[in-house]
């Protein structure tokens, strides 16, 4: 499952959600519109400068976010590579 951190007026954020729906991939959307401080915190935590910030979650052991996928382009590459 993917976590998509984004803002509602960001075209790449919306495209990431649409891609997950198109590929029938589970995701959760974290809308960051109303908290500039939290947006900056998330960018710093994942060392990613733009939105969306997409991470992959694991439900195996502790349910934590395993790693950063990146932005829309990186998500698209990851989902295309899993089709092969």
pLDDT of residue 59: 73
- pLDDT averaged per 10 residues, the chain (length 84): 95 97 95 94 94 87 75 94 70
Closest CA to 6 of 32, 26, 24: 32
> Domain limits of the chain?
2-81
User: Is pTM, for the whole model, over 0.95?
Assistant: no
pLDDT of residue 81: 84
pLDDT of residue 13: 97
DSSP 16: H
pLDDT of residue 67: 87
- For 2-81, CATH number out of 1.10.10.10, 3.40.50.2300, 3.30.300.30, 3.40.30.10 equals 3.40.30.10
Angle between helix axes 72-81 and 11-22 (nearest 10 degrees) is 20
**Strand 2-6 to strand 27-31: parallel, antiparallel, or no bridges (unpaired)?**
parallel
DSSP 67: E
Contact 38, 63 (CB under 8 A): no
């Amino acid at each position: 499952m993917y976590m998509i951190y984004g803002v509602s007026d960001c075209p790449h954020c919306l495209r990431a959600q649409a891609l997950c729906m198109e590929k029938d991939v589970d995701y959760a959307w974290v809308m960051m519109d109303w908290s500039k401080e939290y947006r900056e915190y998330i960018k710093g935590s994942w060392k990613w400068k733009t939105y969306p910030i997409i991470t992959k979650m694991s439900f195996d052991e502790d349910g934590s976010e395993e790693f950063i996928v990146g932005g829309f382009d990186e998500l698209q590459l990851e989902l295309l590579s899993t089709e092969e």
